[in-house]
Chain A
Amino acid sequence: MLNAEPHRLPATDVARLIEGGELSAEAVVRSCLERIREREPVVRAWTHLAAAAALEAALACDKGATHGVLRGVPFCVKDIFDTSDMPSGYGSPIYTGCRPSFDASAVALPRAAGAILLGKTVTTEFANRHPGPTSNPHNPSYTPGGSSSGSAASVADFMVPLALGTQTGGSVIRPAAYCGVVGFKPSFGLFPPAGMHVNTESLDTVGAMARSVDDIALFRAALMAIPYERPVMPERPPRLALCRTPHWDEAQPEGRAVLEAAAARLGAAGARIVDKELPADCADISELQRRHSAYEAPRNHAPELYRHAALLSDDLLGNGRIAAGRKLSLDDFRTDWRRAERARAAAQEWAGGFDAILTLPAPGQAPKGLASTGNAIFNGLWTMLHMPCLTLPAGAGPDGLPVGIQLVARRHDDRRLIDIGLWVERELGAWR
């Protein structure tokens, strides 16, 4: 019995209803495509929509040709991932007409689990800063965040239940928070990176977006090719470390207010909440993240610099990471790498004292305008620490836009982080 239009259903419901014969993949795909047709002129989330191929895949699915935990579930991928049957532009005019010969693993694995790829979503240039055309679905005058701009916007706008993003600084968690969806960045290396255009090898992390924690858990199983087990609601409320980070003075009032209110609410629901600062060895972790991605930029972008430097944005080249990276030496990189290892070891020990860290996913609501995708200051540190992160919408900002909270766990405690996310999601309820 369906009460919602199919495009509004969570992935877990879509998969269950299709498996039970109560819903057809065709109906789901048609509903998503209709929603996209209606809303795309404003949201501009897509670089490529494979409507015909998706319908064909849906029909095949309905004939029983596909199986797996994501049977019939539509998804989209950031246009930083290679796809065998769709163009891959990486947000750069240099790659106009690029047709990769294979699917990235993060594309192939959901497909092998029965999911249907609707198309590619807007990324900033090479998952860096220079923005694409996507607007925030809650108010088109505001940025959706980036670099996984189209993925966050399309999920938030009920165009698709699941989306793939990538994070080198804050590119999954921040846009998810700005668009009011659930964003998950696993521990570094747990989602396979093959076929993701490299930004910074020591940081790049494939991430997932959905509208519920349950859906993240389902998507995660497919992305890791591991058996799916439903997340488990913790029996006891968690012990949470409220971490304002060294960047608290960069948080906006609504970011602070939503975090404090969430802490109070979770505390009232039984969570043990303690204020914690990062250990001393992590003091310069955000700076290390910036320097690492800067150092790698002129090296990883050598192909573009060699042939197409004029087509690189100033946000990346003259005024961006490439220029910054050229000022860094190999010795800087080595020193930073060693310091990052010490910081990770310290953070791992520190984070063992509680179940998860409660912190900000972004300074506040999405900034006005589309020229900047916002500030990643509350993300780079966790990316550099290789820790799993989960953002949930938790309140509204002064302009009615969503404001999120972020949960972070010890590296490799991804499963537990998702369980805790389930509890936090239930206790916080709807964000508006």
Chain B
Amino acid sequence: MSAPNRLSAAEAIARLGSGALTAEALARACLERAQEREGVKAWIWLDPEQALTQARAADRAGRPGLLAGLPIGVKDIIDTLDMPTGHGSPIYRGNRPFADAAAVALLRIAGATIMGKTVTTEFANRFPGATVNPHNPAHTPGGSSSGSAASVADFQVPAALGTQTGGSVIRPASFCGVIGYKASFGEFSRSGIKLQCHNLDTLGILCRSLDDLPPLRAALVAGPPQQIDRTVSAPRIGICRTPAWERAEPATQALIDENAARLAAAGARVREVNFAAPFANILEHHRRIFNFEAARNYAYEYAEHNALVSQVLRDTVLTPGRELPLAAYVEAIETAEAFRRHIDDIFGEVDVLLTPSAAGEAPLGLGSTGDPSFNSIWTLAWTPCLTMPAGNGPKGLPLGIQLVGPRFGDEALFDAAAWVETRLAA
């Protein structure tokens, strides 16, 4: 048996449930790994005793719930009652929320151990934290859910929560070589999560196996888990290069084309899907909504702690957001709604879209967390999306492929992803 910290969440849950593994032993193995690999700098708050206390309590109670004591990392823009929540900003150093975020409470209700808080960029925006890519510390792990992706990739915790306003779940997951999943907009509660953009912010999950997703998702929607159906027939796949295609590196473009060919060979009906002409500049509408809403949702920080807000956040988001005319924002909101209807129509003809997870491998350096263009489109579309590892790029770092499903088709997306995973592994 592999070390407990290397088990996927689903494997760990099975062993916790059968008694083959205790929550304490699992938490201990994760903590040891985290300590040994401190250099990844994935955690902004990790108190071993706090994690072990929760794990022991789970063991004493017989490891109840869907998650049976499973340790989970929580991005540090998500409120926790018992751990500081710093939002990646010096403004909130030492901030102690009065309550858990709904998502954290739902995980606890399902029996999870909240292991600690993972590094986020400043306010889930651009300015990076200290985390490095566990595959090569000279490279960014991506962001904004940097610590969540890196800790899961590095076997420090089996699963973690992230959030996505642009590309903050899918991109770091792809850069770190793990599974990243952003739910359909509206399904996971955001109560107690630092709000950036009310029309965009979406909670997501980072983990290492597709089978991890159903129980974690079930906990977060307080519903019954729906296991992945591995008997589904070959999906109709749309290759969606998106208006950002030119930004994809050659290895990424080749990855999409090669995988599309392999899936077609395995029996999937594959066709090209393009957005209608009015949506050629859909990224501009995402940018407008992002800047306009963030400039207002960070009003307190902007007004009262301006000097502690990073210059990159002020210059690229808050100031342009203040300057954007209301009419331009409203136009973007209405275009986004039309875009969602357009995507609904596309899903009349395909079951799942295959598209890049990111422009390429994790870029060199820690100064930027990378380009979110291949993600912002789907955040705006409110569709569920999932990235899974698909080999390495020229620098030996992970590449991912992204699958996108129709709004509220999250379970079918998991089924299609399992089909794809099996065929690509063959």
Interface residues, chain A, CB within 8 Å of chain B?
A: 84, 94-95, 97-105, 107-109, 111-112, 189, 192-195, 197-198, 201-202, 224-226, 296, 298-307, 329-330, 333-334, 337-338, 412
Report if B251 contacts A (CB, 8 A). no
Report if B259 contacts A (CB, 8 A). no
Chain B residues with CB below 8 A from A303, complex form:
81, 99-102, 104-105, 191-192
Bound CA span A213–B203, Å? 39
Among A102, A333, A337, the most chain B Cβ lie within 10 Å of the Cβ of: A102
Given A194-B195, A299-B102, A302-B189: A337 in contact with B299 (beta carbons within 8 A): no
Flag if A84 contacts B109 (CB, 8 Å). Answer: no
Which stretch from B7-15, B154-162, B326-334 is at the chain A interface? Answer: B326-334
Chain B residues with CB below 8 A from A103, complex form:
299-300, 304
Flag if B221 contacts A330 (CB, 8 Å). Answer: yes
Flag if A189 contacts B198 (CB, 8 Å). Answer: yes
Chain A residues with CB below 8 A from B63, complex form:
none
Chain B residues with CB below 8 A from A329, complex form:
223
Flag if B198 contacts A108 (CB, 8 Å). Answer: no
Bound CA span A288–B358, Å? 38
Report if B211 contacts A (CB, 8 A). no
Chain A residues with CB below 8 A from B186, complex form:
201-202, 337
Q: Which of A101, A107, A194, A412 contacts B333 (CB 8 A)?
A: A412
Bound CA span A202–B101, Å? 17
Chain A residues with CB below 8 A from B326, complex form:
224, 226
Smallest Cβ distance from B292 to chain A, in angstroms?
A: 9
Bound CA span A109–B223, Å? 38
What 10 A-B pairs have minimum CB-CB distances, sorted nearest first?
A: A194-B297, A198-B191, A192-B296, A302-B105, A108-B300, A303-B105, A108-B299, A98-B98, A112-B303, A105-B299
Chain B residues with CB below 8 A from A334, complex form:
408
Chain A residues with CB below 8 A from B99, complex form:
94-95, 98, 303-304
Flag if A337 contacts B106 (CB, 8 Å). Answer: no
**Interface bits B325-358 vs A (CB < 8 Å: 1, else 0):** 0100010011000000000000000000000000
Flag if A111 contacts B98 (CB, 8 Å). Answer: no
Q: Which of B102, B105, B296, B300 contacts A84 (CB 8 A)?
A: B300
12 residue pairs bridging A and B, Cβ less than 8 Å apart? A101-B97, A108-B300, A109-B299, A192-B299, A194-B194, A198-B102, A300-B102, A306-B109, A307-B105, A329-B223, A337-B408, A412-B334
Smallest Cβ distance from A250 to chain B, in angstroms?
A: 30
Report if B245 contacts A (CB, 8 A). no
Flag if B105 contacts A194 (CB, 8 Å). Answer: no
Which chain B residues in 370-426 approach chain A with CB under 8 Å?
A: 408
Bound CA span A192–B106, Å? 26
Smallest Cβ distance from A412 to chain B, in angstroms?
A: 5
Given A101-B92, A300-B102, A329-B223: A201 in contact with B295 (beta carbons within 8 A): no
Chain A residues with CB below 8 A from B102, complex form:
198, 299-303
Flag if B187 contacts A330 (CB, 8 Å). Answer: yes
Given A107-B300, A112-B302, A338-B408, 20 additional A-B pairs, CB 8 A = A95-B99, A98-B98, A102-B92, A104-B300, A105-B296, A108-B299, A112-B303, A189-B333, A192-B299, A193-B198, A194-B296, A194-B300, A224-B296, A226-B326, A299-B189, A300-B189, A302-B106, A305-B109, A306-B108, A412-B333
Flag if A225 contacts B98 (CB, 8 Å). Answer: no
Smallest Cβ distance from A415 to chain B, in angstroms?
A: 8
Flag if A225 contacts B322 (CB, 8 Å). Answer: yes
Chain A residues with CB below 8 A from B301, complex form:
102
Smallest Cβ distance from A9 to chain B, in angstroms?
A: 26
Flag if B303 contacts A299 (CB, 8 Å). Answer: no
Flag if A193 contacts B195 (CB, 8 Å). Answer: yes
Bound CA span A335–B194, Å? 28
Q: Which of B190, B297, B298 contacts A201 (CB 8 A)?
A: B190
Bound CA span A296–B190, Å? 11
Bound CA span A104–B99, Å? 16
Report if B253 contacts A (CB, 8 A). no
Name which residue of chain B comes closest to A326, CB basis: B222
Bound CA span A334–B407, Å? 9
Among B98, B101, B186, B295, the most chain A Cβ lie within 10 Å of the Cβ of: B98
Given A189-B199, A202-B186, A299-B189: A306 in contact with B105 (beta carbons within 8 A): yes
Smallest Cβ distance from A117 to chain B, in angstroms?
A: 12
Among A192, A195, A198, A333, the most chain B Cβ lie within 10 Å of the Cβ of: A192
**Interface bits B61-79 vs A (CB < 8 Å: 1, else 0):** 0000000000000000000
Flag if A198 contacts B298 (CB, 8 Å). Answer: no
Which chain B residues in 198-215 approach chain A with CB under 8 Å?
A: 198-199
Report if B293 contacts A (CB, 8 A). yes
